[in-house]
Amino acid sequence: MGNNDSTTFLAGVIEGFYGQPWNQTERHQLFDWMSSWGLNTYLYAPKDDMKHRALWREAYTAAELAQLERVIATCKTRGLRFIYALSPGLDIRYSDSSEVGRLKERFEQMRSIGCENFALLFDDIPDRMSDADRERFGSFASAQCAVTNDLFRWLHERGTNGRFLFCPTPYCGRMAERQLGGAGYLETVGRELLPEIDIFWTGPEIISREITVPHIRELQTLLRRKPIIWDNLHANDYDGRRFFCGPYAGRAPELRSELTGLLLNPNCEFALNFIPFRTLGAFMQASRKWDPRAAYLSALREWRAHFETVSQPIAFDDLLLLGDCYYLPFEDGATADAFFQSSRTLLSKHPSQWGPDAATVRAQTQRFRDFCARLTELKNRPLFYALSRRIWELREELDLLDRYVAGKGDGKLPDAACSSDFHLPGTYRGGFVPRLQRLLLPHPDGSFTPSALPHE
C-alpha cells in the first residue's frame, strides 16, 4: 500500500476516545486483527495522551518517541497506514506564527521516526476566537484552514506526501445546524481548505444511529469533496457504565462509494472491541447486502474462544444474552430485549396472576445471574477486568429482581413495596450522580422534565 495514494479508501480504527490510551500489547493485537480482517488504517489520536491535546506544544521524550516508533514500524510490517493526529484547538493562537512553528516541530519529530500521514483535529474546543485571530482571519473556519493548509504545504515541501486529515469544529449535522464555529463554517472549509485534505464527519449526530447516502451527498456539496466518517457508533467514553459489543450497523454498503474512508472510534476498553472490529471488517468486504445480526452472531462465535474459564466452557446462549445486554447505543439485542419484556410483563401484573410465568422469569434470572458470577473465572484477565464492574452491576440487578419475584410470589412480601437486606438505601444505586440523575426524567424523544421526587 502506497502511503501517498490519495485514492485508497481508508478503513480501520481510531484510537480517539477520552480515557486511558491502549498499551503496546493491545495495539499489536489490534494490528494483527486489522491485517487479518481487511482493514488498512490506524489513526493515533487518544484524547488523554497529554501531548496529543492538552500539552500539544510539548515534544515527546526519547522513551515516548521510541514507543511510537515501534507502533509505526509494526503498522508498516502489517501493511497498515499509520496516521498521527494533533489536537491544538483548545488554546492555539491561530494568528501567531510561532504556534504554527510548534505544530511543525511536533510533526517533524514524528517524521523523524517514519510517520508519513498526519491529521489536525479541531473538535470539542471552545467556540470563541481571540481578537487578534478574528482581526486577521475573520472566522474560525478561515483560521483553521489557513493553519492546516500551511502544515500540508510544509510537509509536501519536505517530501512527505502521505494523507492529511482535518476534523472540523462542527463535525456532525446537529452541530452544523446550530452554527457551532460560526455561520457558514462548512461552506468556508469546503471553499478554503486545500482539496487534497480529507475532512472528518460523524454523521447527523455525534453518535449516529444511521448514516445515509442522501445525508452524505448533501454534505459533499458543502465540503466540495467526499468526507471520511469518524464513526462513534461503539464509543463509550460518554457513559462509563456501558460498552457496546453489537455489530457495525445503520450504514449500508452503498455508503462506501460516497466516502474516502470509514474509521471506527470504539470502546475505551480494548478487550471489549472484538465484535465491533470484526464486523467492521466484514462490512468492508460485503456486497450490496449487509446483515448486521448475522455478522454479529458469526463474530460472537469467534469471540467465544476468548471466554475460556478455569471450569466448564461458556455456553454460547449465555454469551449471546450477555452481548445483547450491551449491544448498541440505541437498542438492546433481541435476547436481552425478550428477557426484559418478559420481566416487565410479569411485574405489571398482581402476584396472584403470575402463575407459572414467575417460575420462568426466576429460572432465566438465576441462570443469567450465575453466568455473570462465572465470568470471574475467565482466564483472559484483561477481558474480565474490562467487564467486571458492568457485570457486577448487572448481577446485582438480577439478584434484586429475583428476590422481589420470589418474595412476592410466596406471599412473604405482601406490601406494594419490598425491601432487601442486600440493597440498602445509600449503598446500592446511591451516591451523588444517581441523585442528580433522578432530578430530570428522560423521555423517548430525547427531552427531559423535572421528576416528581419526594424530599430527601
The CATH class for the domain spanning 316-433 reads mainly alpha
Residue 400's contacts (CB-CB under 8 Å, 6 or more residues apart) are 420, 422, 423, 428
- Which amino acid belongs to residue 28? H
Can you give the pTM of this predicted structure? 0.94
**Rounded CA separation 194/453 (Å):** 55
Buried b (16+ CB within 10 A) or exposed e, 296-331: bbbbbeebbeebeeeeeebeeebbbbbbbbbbbbee
Angle, vertex CA 17, rays to CA 165 and CA 129, nearest 5: 60
The angle subtended at Cα 455 by Cα 451 and Cα 456, nearest 5°, is 110
Give the integer Cα–Cα distance in Å for 417 and 397: 16
Residue-level pLDDT at 413 = 59
Q: Write out the catalytic residue numbers.
A: 124
- According to DSSP, the residues that pair with 256 across neighbouring strands are none
Tell the CATH superfamily of the 10-290 domain.
Glycosidases (3.20.20.80)
Residue whose grid cell is 494523507: 163
What is the rounded CA–CA span in Å between residue 180 and residue 171? 9
CA atoms of 377 and 387, how far apart (whole Å) = 12
Are the CB atoms for 257 and 287 separated by under 8 Å?
no
Q: How many alpha carbons lie under 13 Å from residue 236 in its C-beta half-sphere?
A: 22
User: Do residues 387 and 270 lie in contact, with contact meaning Cβ atoms separated by under 8 Å?
Assistant: no
- Report in angstroms the alpha-carbon separations of 434 from 189, 237, 360, 448: 42, 18, 31, 16
**Among the listed residues 221, 224, 164, the one whose alpha carbon sits nearest the alpha carbon of residue 191:** 224
Question: Using the 8-state DSSP alphabet, how is residue 201 labeled?
Answer: E
10-290 and 316-433 share one fold: no
For residue 1, what pLDDT is reported?
32
CB 358 within 8 A of CB 346: yes
Where does 335-433 show beta strands of DSSP type E? none
Radius of gyration of the chain (CA): 25
Determine phi and psi for 52, rounding to 5 degrees.
-85, -35
The position carrying cell 475467565 is 378
Query: Which residue type, as a one-letter code, is found at position 369?
Result: R
Each residue's pLDDT expressed in tens, for the chain with a length of 456 residues: 334 566 799 999 999 999 999 999 999 999 999 999 999 999 999 999 999 999 999 999 999 999 999 999 999 999 999 999 999 999 999 999 999 999 999 999 999 999 999 999 999 999 889 999 999 999 999 999 999 999 999 999 999 999 999 999 999 999 999 999 999 999 999 999 999 999 999 999 999 999 999 999 999 999 999 999 999 999 999 998 999 999 999 999 999 999 999 999 999 999 999 999 999 999 999 988 999 999 999 999 999 999 999 998 999 999 999 999 999 999 999 999 999 999 999 999 989 899 999 999 999 999 999 999 999 999 999 999 999 999 999 999 999 999 899 988 776 655 556 667 777 777 888 889 888 888 998 888 889 999 876 655
Share in percent of the chain as helix, strand, coil (round to 5): 45, 10, 45
DSSP-based three-state secondary structure for 84: strand
Residue found by looking up cell 510537509 in the block: 155
Q: Which of 330, 336, 291 is closest to 317 using CA atoms?
A: 336
Listed residue (83, 80, 342, 328) closest to 200, CA to CA: 83
Residues 6+ apart with CB under 8 A from 143: 94, 95, 129, 133, 136, 137
User: DSSP label at 278?
Assistant: H
- Residue 167 and residue 88: Cα distance in Å, rounded? 11
For 352, the grid coordinates are: 396472584
Cell numbers placing 354: 403470575
pLDDT at 429: 84
The amino acid sitting at 317 is D
Domain ranges for the chain: 10-290, 316-433
What gap in Å lies between CA 380 and CA 346, rounded to an integer? Answer: 37
75 neighbors 82 (Cβ within 8 angstroms): yes
229 sits in which H/E element: strand 228-231
3-state secondary structure of 346: helix
